[in-house]
Structure 1
Amino acid sequence: MLSPTKFLNAAESPVKAVTIFQSATAELTRTFTVELVGGRNVLEITGLSSRVDMESPRIHGLGTDARVFDISCDTKLSGAPGARPKKNGDAVERLKLAIKAAEAERDVHRGEYDMLDNAVKSLPSETTAREMDALMDKFVERKKRAMKSVMDCEQTIAVLKKELWRLESASTGETAGRVVATILAKRACRVTFQLTYLVAGVSWQPYYDIHASTAEGKPSSEISLLYCANITQSTGEDWSDTVLTLSTANSQALRSLSVPVIEPLKVTPTPPPPSQTQPPMSRFLGVEASSSDDDDMELLVDDDEYAISGPPTTVDRSPLSLSYHVDGLVTLPSDGVAHKVLIAMLDFTAELKYVCVPCKNTSAFIEGTVKNTSEYELLAGPVSVFMDDSFVTKTSLNLISVNESFDCVIGIDTALRVTYNRKSRTEQEPERSFAERTKTTTRTITTTATNGHPFDISNLVIRDSIPLGNEEANIKVMLGKPDGLARARDREEVTVGLVGEVTEAKVRWSKVENGRGGEKDGMYEWVCVVPAGKKVQLEAEWAVKAPSNVKWEESVNADGVQK
């Protein structure tokens, strides 16, 4: 004998907890209370998302007096006649019927309007003037009423269609999911159980807002980072007053997890490398050479002067993932729109410096080096930067672990003016009987930084590069200034005497990052202190010696080796 079925509507048992994975899936938990009879009980739970993973539903918390005997899941209700199984489905169907009724009434009044015209045309010819006047009065009145009725219907249809659009766009996804479970009870009892299941159509991505501030024009080293999540869901189920957890794990609902299989290996001879046409790496950034009878030099750069508080969040770490439990209850409708949820507000102290690369851009960028002293691992994501609550720029973060540092530009200092001037002179050596004739081009770079602030700038970094030579073309580069840089080791700071208002600065080879930079690539940087209202003048000089019939130019050495 079949047991009677108890029907439960998921919409009447709101989602209590949601865990969103970074794999477009989420685990949902609903709580139901039901009266069981002793023996066999069949429960049919409807109103679940049509994007449910049909192998995932589980029932927990039945206690010792009942157990699950059988459970199944399907989305067959999607093919049922009538309203679509989605939020506001019945209301949408009622609106569609109301629109059809209004359109039918409008068509009737249009027909009445047309019939009045035909009635006038068919009047008998013996109609008297008095009769015609009376008929025309009635005709005009009826036609005005018919036209007004048509216009009223059009207005009603427009209102109904707008409401229909609002209801249809307010929710995405359908709820044709259904779970049927057989529960065996030892005795008649009342139980409260949890139904958990996985759904697709959910995603979360981290994003950050960095807020910096100034005091009397001077940037503060204290910055705030808002760690947020963009959450989008179109499951068909609204989540109201839900406990939310964001997980970095990839849900295993749609893929299996297994230990990789090791492959057998053997040793085989390595084919010989292709012939090397490039000389070994030299000290400076490369210059390209081509044979020419013209002694003029082409430069790529002209010799011109350029002028929030939010709810706290608990972090759980496991060997497989990182989870953020947002404190407080969250409401997220199934509308397919990205909702911004605050995970945490973090305060950091940044090490500020002013950075300028005048050969590319004479702007002085305010850059902060921030150490992640929080308990949060900062996932890769977009960053919006604000200075004094005004938007500055967009950038991005790579994965930043706890106690790891990252750099971020927080603005441009318009009161720090930097100019960049390049000058060159070329000298031809006299022709000799037993030696190749050569020419020497001396390049002088003058960089001037003027501090327009009423406070000192204690850490100004100005970066530039020196070209590498080309042994194949017999082009050599000799570094003359800054004094002592040619003999310095990587990251060793050399103190250089200056002429002008600032009499001293430091210079060093730049830091090697991702295999680029430093002495091997000819990339160096000045480190200066510029007092308030003063300016510093920096000079670099090198000589390029090449055969007199070789025309050369500076170009970017993209592969990082001598050309």
Structure 2
Amino acid sequence: MISPASYKSSFKIPSSPSTTSAMVSEQPAANRITVNAAEQDDSIEAVTVFQSNRAEIKRRVNLDLKKGQNHVHIERLPSCLNGDSIRVDGTGTAVIFDVVYHAPSYSSSSSDDESVTTARRTLETLQKERDVAREQSQFLASYGKTLDSKNVNIEDVQRFLDIFGPRQIGVAKRIQELDVQIGKASKELDEARSKAYQDKQGEKRGTRVTVTVLAETDGKAELMLTYVVSNASWTPLYDIRAAIAKSPEATSKMMLHYRASITQTTGENWPEVALTLSTASPQLGSTVPKLSSWKIGIPALALPAGQGATRTKQTAREVAMLDLEVEVDDDREESDDDMGFGLFDGYETYATPQMASRKAHVATAGVLSATFSIPGRSDIPSEEGSHKVVVAVLDLEAELEWICVPREKESVFLTCNVINSSEFTLLPGEASVFMDDNFVSKSRIE
């Protein structure tokens, strides 16, 4: 194991300058190792995505160390990397002395924008000039067709041809030259846009981490770099598929497809990584909030004139009882929500066999959070789109109830109360309701 350095504050004072020079000459020169992280995204071992716009990355770095001090510069890490979250572990006969975080330097993109604007204006100018040349060529050709041989003598025709021929040839050559120039200008515009895009993408990977490692001998070593980045999150999605019992003796079933929609624009791709989803909310750099005092009492009521203190006491008791009833109702409603429920419109039975899907397992389930490990390997590139993975497919028993309020609406509503008997925590999220493989409505699990 690579062990962290134990810093000692012991120094020796040399007895003479010759002794100092001998000690310096014996110290081997530091070895510099540069690692381009953008070219080694496939070295990312595991990713844990949180709901609170955070993700923890574990990146493996393989090194060839030289005897003595080695400065390992890991470049082009995500610019959204949190410097306080960096941890470095490793294997091999070496000692980690220091880890330095270098924040990204954001350069102004005005120069790139100006180059794109200049290239676009040059292309537009050449295109307009070519349009004018084409109009001239069309005008000369049209004018030649207007000549009437009955009214024009041979001398006039000869003079027209002497003027028309060289002019038409010159215009045709100019159009050819403009076509070549437009092709070059279009290529320059594409290159300017590509450079501006690359610079913009490069700004997403401007962080650098320097690790100083002291090796006793030459050999290979492996570092495990762990850090937290922002611009990554996941949200739960649900598909509720109901199967209504055809007889009172039968039991209605509900199949809940639990999915996760993952988005990440960190600048680094996550190819074939071990993916974990966490419901925890890491608060980097936050402080514990302080509670202020609350004043509890019965609010004063404005009574009509002529009513005395007895009425005031009675009204106060009624207000207190009313507040208590409201609180109890709220608690009861919240408890019902915790049990889980769905709303269905329809009466047909859903019985289509489902294909088997890979199912995540609950890695840890604590009081405050849960962690879901997605089986296999997941490929999550850095882009604006969302990527959906299956967390679980749950078969749950449902208690159905038909409700109708004809005074307000003629429709009959089918409500479903479901107890989550699985080990998976159902988080608030959008839900699509299906009945007999037909989309019924959009709902939400709170």
With the shorter chain as reference, the TM-score category is 0.5 to 0.7
Residue 217 and residue 148 in structure 1: after superposition, are their counterparts in 2 closer, same or farther (change >3 A)?
farther
Amino acid aligned to 1:377? T
Structure 2 partner of 1:347: 395
Structure 2 counterpart of 1:193, from 210, 223, 228: 223
Residue 188 and residue 319 in structure 1: after superposition, are their counterparts in 2 closer, same or farther (change >3 A)?
farther
Structure 1 counterpart of 2:67, from 17, 38, 42: 38
1:74 partnered with 2:76: no
Amino acid aligned to 1:335? E
CA positional deviation for 1:47: 1.5
Structure 1 partner of 2:33: 6
CA deviation digits over 1:110-142, x for unaligned, max 9? 557769999x99xxxxx9444213213313423
Amino acid aligned to 1:55? D
CA positional deviation for 1:152: 5.6
Residue 79 and residue 151 in structure 1: after superposition, are their counterparts in 2 closer, same or farther (change >3 A)?
closer
Q: What is the correspondence of 1:238-277 to structure 2 with a 5 Å cutoff?
A: 238-256=269-287, 273-274=300-301, 275=312
Structure 1 partner of 2:255: 224
CA positional deviation for 1:52: 0.5
Amino acid aligned to 1:21? F
Separation in 2, partners of 1:271, 1:352? 42
* SS at 2:38 equivalent: helix
Residue 101 and residue 115 in structure 1: after superposition, are their counterparts in 2 closer, same or farther (change >3 A)?
same
Q: What is the correspondence of 1:272-311 to structure 2 with a 5 Å cutoff?
A: 273-274=300-301, 275=312, 309-311=356-358
- Aligned-pair Cα RMSD in Å: 4.6
Separation in 1, partners of 2:124, 2:231? 41
Residue 166 and residue 229 in structure 1: after superposition, are their counterparts in 2 closer, same or farther (change >3 A)?
farther
Residue 269 and residue 379 in structure 1: after superposition, are their counterparts in 2 closer, same or farther (change >3 A)?
closer
Structure 2 partner of 1:208: 238
Cα contact 2:101–2:210 (8 A) shared by 1: yes
Cα contact 2:433–2:441 (8 A) shared by 1: yes
Residue 163 and residue 390 in structure 1: after superposition, are their counterparts in 2 closer, same or farther (change >3 A)?
farther
Separation in 1, partners of 2:202, 2:400? 46
1:323 partnered with 2:371: yes
Q: What is the correspondence of 1:421-500 to structure 2 with a 5 Å cutoff?
A: none
Separation in 2, partners of 1:166, 1:337? 22
* SS at 2:172 equivalent: helix
Separation in 1, partners of 2:392, 2:279? 16
* SS at 2:426 equivalent: coil
1:24 partnered with 2:53: yes
Structure 2 partner of 1:54: 83
Amino acid aligned to 2:439? F
Q: What is the correspondence of 1:122-201 to structure 2 with a 5 Å cutoff?
A: 128-145=159-176, 148=179, 160=190, 174-201=204-231
Separation in 1, partners of 2:244, 2:315? 54
Structure with greater proportional helix content: 2
Amino acid aligned to 2:49? I
Greater relative contact order (Cα < 8 A, sep 6+): 2
CA positional deviation for 1:389: 2.3
Cα contact 1:20–1:203 (8 A) shared by 2: yes
Separation in 2, partners of 1:377, 1:30? 29
Amino acid aligned to 2:361? T
Separation in 2, partners of 1:138, 1:175? 55
Amino acid aligned to 2:383? D
Separation in 1, partners of 2:178, 2:247? 69
CA deviation digits over 1:155-174, x for unaligned, max 9? 7689x499859977x97970
Amino acid aligned to 1:8? V
Separation in 2, partners of 1:392, 1:173? 45
- TM-score of the pair, normalised by structure 1: 0.53
CA positional deviation for 1:312: 1.6
Task: Return 44-53 or 180-189, whichever deviates more.
Answer: 180-189
Separation in 1, partners of 2:220, 2:39? 18
Cα contact 2:133–2:171 (8 A) shared by 1: no
1:312 partnered with 2:359: yes
Task: Return 387-396 or 178-187, whichever deviates more.
Answer: 387-396
Q: What is the correspondence of 1:521-560 to structure 2 with a 5 Å cutoff?
A: none
Cα contact 1:41–1:185 (8 A) shared by 2: yes
1:336 partnered with 2:384: yes
Q: What is the correspondence of 1:48-127 to structure 2 with a 5 Å cutoff?
A: 48-63=77-92, 65-79=93-107, 104=122, 107=125
Cα contact 2:123–2:185 (8 A) shared by 1: no
Residue 144 and residue 83 in structure 1: after superposition, are their counterparts in 2 closer, same or farther (change >3 A)?
closer
Amino acid aligned to 2:39? E
State how many pairs are aligned: 352
CA positional deviation for 1:146: 5.2
CA positional deviation for 1:145: 3.1
Separation in 2, partners of 1:318, 1:262? 26
CA deviation digits over 1:484-532, x for unaligned, max 9? xxxxxxxxxxxxxxxxxxxxxxxxxxxxxxxxxxxxxxxxxxxxxxxxx
* SS at 1:141 equivalent: helix
Structure 1 counterpart of 2:420, from 372, 381, 391: 372
Residue 231 and residue 132 in structure 1: after superposition, are their counterparts in 2 closer, same or farther (change >3 A)?
same
* SS at 1:391 equivalent: strand
Separation in 2, partners of 1:247, 1:358? 45
Structure 2 partner of 1:304: none
Amino acid aligned to 2:103? T
Cα contact 1:198–1:253 (8 A) shared by 2: no
Residue 269 and residue 30 in structure 1: after superposition, are their counterparts in 2 closer, same or farther (change >3 A)?
closer
Structure with greater proportional strand content: 1
Structure 2 partner of 1:458: none
Cα contact 2:116–2:193 (8 A) shared by 1: no
CA deviation digits over 1:361-403, x for unaligned, max 9? 22111222222121111112221111122221122222xxxxx
Cα contact 2:360–2:390 (8 A) shared by 1: no
Cα contact 1:29–1:196 (8 A) shared by 2: yes
The gaps in structure 2 that reach 5 residues or longer are: 1-26, 141-157, 302-311, 323-354
- TM-score of the pair, normalised by structure 2: 0.65
Separation in 1, partners of 2:242, 2:193? 44
Separation in 1, partners of 2:164, 2:433? 78
Residue 336 and residue 195 in structure 1: after superposition, are their counterparts in 2 closer, same or farther (change >3 A)?
same
Separation in 1, partners of 2:63, 2:296? 72
Residue 114 and residue 197 in structure 1: after superposition, are their counterparts in 2 closer, same or farther (change >3 A)?
same
Cα contact 2:79–2:104 (8 A) shared by 1: no
1:363 partnered with 2:411: yes
CA deviation digits over 1:80-125, x for unaligned, max 9? 99999xxxxxxxx9xx98996686466457557769999x99xxxx
CA positional deviation for 1:12: 3.2
Separation in 2, partners of 1:139, 1:8? 58
Task: Return 215-224 or 350-359, whichever deviates more.
Answer: 215-224
Structure 1 partner of 2:350: none
